[in-house]
């Protein structure tokens, strides 16, 4: 997951004390779904809990493909892998829809503190960062505790210096710390360059204390000079902070940093969204989307982000097939291209499918953790069905909070489409307490995926897709 607005929204929601209520068919709000459909929803939920396919697929993707940055040869292998898996699982209309894009490619990076004493730094370029000049640069460091402090500085201090933004991120179940911190990564270069800085270096946006830097997308502003942008690991940021404190002493020496980095931008490439379906019956022209993104960053294995999501939604579709009843609406699995650095897949999907009625957008892109919250973004007439869904999901430990219950965000690609087309969305928030430890780092490996929590996700999504497909009312369009 790379997007930020979702988290900015999440940030305003506090912790939830709701406890799920165990529910059975006879107690459910049956006004919304037929008794047969309710019973089948429960059957799918129980079937999903027995799943082992989600983990097997995640393992297969990271083992047989590995990291798969959009437009790379590995990405092409992932597209082939995804189609083969969808065929094998029995999905229909399996196809890869082309997505044209310009991709950014990481090159060599060398960065160190050169003064007061040499310290090698563990760092990663931020996605879209330009290179340094071939000879690199060596400049004094201007330290800021966070992005707000940089924005508040109207002095000449950043001019000619490397701005360091020591933005900290807090740990929370809903990942809200990310939304509060990530603008340092996305917008740090613009803020620093506006003030004359020659480069920006940030503390990694993450909750770990490992010597592994976190990458992620950053943006330039056409009105502002482009400067190199990178993230150092948290222990390196702590080291810089300690040396900065020493530099403030009477005998303190200024910090200097030496930086050389080569990246390539705007490389023409083609990737694909991979789609597969369970055809609907009387409402087959309406689409219930289960999605994840197929690409990953180039570091790590893309196991948590978003191999687990790929495994979950494919296994949820397989659960629906195994349930043996065809849905009224068409359930479509979409594996998006280039979520991480451009949303080209979401853009292309929207253009290709703009005329279709979308009953539900969703995306599993918050790792492998336990789902604990249901939020929707549907028109008011559909809320009774969502309430029924909430009762069906409660035994899984998924609650539906009263606050912002219909202000959900269905995940990065899906949210992009929701905002653009007014298609309704469904969010099952996963436990993100540890999600940002290895997010966008070399530590995004299969070791971070807990096989025990995947079946709960599969059960939740299979149930959700079924309820959306059988709903007597349309969930959209929504006002956006």
- Compare residues 49 and 239 and give the one whose CB is closer to a second copy: 239
Using rule CB under 8 A, residue 451 touches a second copy: no
Span interacting with a second copy, options 163-171, 204-212, 361-369, 408-416, rule CB under 8 A: 204-212
- CB 421, min distance to a second copy, A: 37
Confirm or reject binding of residue 211 to a second copy (CB under 8 A). yes
Q: How many whole angstroms separate alpha carbon 212 and alpha carbon 302?
A: 15
Among 5, 242, 266, 420, binds a second copy (CB under 8 A): 242
Residue 116: cis peptide before it, omega within 30 degrees of 0: yes
Alpha helix segments (H runs only) across 11-72: 35-49, 53-64
- At closest approach, how far in Å is the CB of 439 from a second copy? 13
- From 16-24, 187-195, 223-231, 240-248, give the range in contact with a second copy by CB under 8 A: 240-248
Strands (E) in 116-255, as ranges, are 119-120, 123-125, 137-144, 162-165, 199-203, 229-232
Q: Applying CB under 8 A, which of residues 138, 153, 442, 450 lies at the interface with a second copy?
A: 442
Among the listed residues 65, 232, 396, 460, the single contact to a second copy using CB under 8 A = 65
Shortest Å, Cβ 159 to a second copy = 28
301 is an interface residue for a second copy by CB under 8 A: yes
Chain centroid, CA 286 distance in Å: 26
Q: What is the DSSP string of 385-454?
A: HHHHHHHHHGGGT-B--STTTT-----HHHHHHHHHH---EEEEEE--TTTTTSTTSTT-SGGG--TTTH
Q: Is 340 annotated in the active site? A: no
191, 339, 340, 391: the active-site residue: 339
Is 246 among the residues that bind a second copy (CB under 8 A)? yes
- By beta-carbon proximity to a second copy, the closer residue of 256 and 419 is 256
Q: Which two tokens stand for residue 183?
A: 């603008």
State the Cα–Cα distance between residues 353 and 421, nearest whole angstrom: 10
Q: Are strands 229-232 and 123-125 parallel, antiparallel or unpaired?
A: antiparallel
Rule CB under 8 A: say whether 234 interacts with a second copy: yes
Residues belonging to the active site: 339
Binding site for a second copy (CB under 8 A): 59, 62-67, 73-74, 77, 116-120, 122, 209-212, 234-235, 238-239, 242-243, 246, 300-301, 441-443, 445-448
């Amino acid at each position: 997951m790379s997007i930020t607005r979702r988290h900015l929204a999440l940030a305003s929601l506090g912790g939830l004390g709701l406890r799920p209520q165990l529910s059975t068919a006879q107690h459910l709000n049956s006004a919304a779904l037929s008794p047969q459909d309710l019973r089948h929803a429960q059957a799918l939920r129980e079937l999903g809990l027995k799943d082992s396919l989600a983990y097997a697929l995640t393992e297969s993707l990271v083992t047989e493909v590995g990291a798969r940055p959009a437009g790379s040869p590995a990405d092409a292998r992932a597209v082939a892998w995804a189609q083969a898996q969808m065929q094998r699982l029995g999905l229909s209309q399996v196809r890869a829809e082309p997505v044209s894009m310009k991709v950014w490619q990481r090159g060599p990076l060398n960065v160190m503190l050169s003064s007061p004493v040499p310290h090698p730094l563990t760092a990663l370029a931020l996605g879209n960062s330009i290179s340094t000049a071939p000879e690199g640069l060596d400049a004094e460091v201007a330290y800021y505790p966070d992005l707000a402090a940089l924005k508040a500085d109207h002095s000449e201090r950043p001019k000619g210096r490397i701005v360091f933004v020591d933005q900290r991120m807090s740990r929370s179940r809903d990942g809200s710390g990310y939304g509060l911190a990530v603008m340092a990564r996305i917008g740090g270069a613009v803020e620093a360059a506006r003030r004359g800085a020659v480069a920006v270096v940030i503390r990694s946006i993450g909750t770990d204390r490992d010597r592994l830097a976190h990458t992620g997308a950053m943006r330039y502003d056409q009105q502002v000079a482009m400067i190199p942008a990178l993230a150092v690991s948290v222990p390196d940021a702590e080291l810089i902070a300690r040396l900065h404190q020493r530099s403030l002493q009477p005998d303190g020496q200024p910090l200097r940093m030496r930086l050389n980095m080569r990246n390539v931008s705007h490389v023409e490439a083609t990737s694909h969204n991979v789609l597969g379906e369970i055809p609907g019956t009387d409402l087959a022209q309406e689409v219930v989307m289960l999605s994840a993104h197929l690409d990953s960053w180039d570091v790590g294995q893309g196991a948590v982000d978003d191999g687990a999501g790929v495994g979950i939604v494919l296994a949820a579709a397989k659960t629906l097939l195994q349930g043996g009843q065809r849905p009224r609406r068409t359930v479509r699995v979409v594996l998006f291209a280039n979520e991480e650095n451009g949303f080209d897949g979401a853009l292309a999907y929207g253009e290709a499918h703009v005329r279709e009625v979308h009953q539900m957008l969703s995306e599993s892109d918050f790792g492998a953790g336990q789902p604990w919250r249901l939020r929707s973004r549907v028109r008011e007439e559909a809320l009774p069905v969502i309430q029924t869904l909430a009762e069906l999901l409660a035994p899984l430990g998924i609650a539906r909070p009263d606050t912002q219950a219909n202000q959900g965000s269905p995940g990065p690609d899906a949210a992009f489409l929701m905002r653009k087309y007014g298609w309704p969305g469904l969010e099952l928030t996963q436990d993100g307490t540890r999600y940002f430890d290895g997010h966008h780092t070399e530590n995004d490996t299969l070791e971070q995926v807990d096989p025990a929590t995947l079946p709960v996700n599969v059960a939740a999504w299979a149930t959700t897709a079924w309820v959306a497909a059988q709903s007597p009312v349309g969930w959209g369009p929504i006002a956006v």
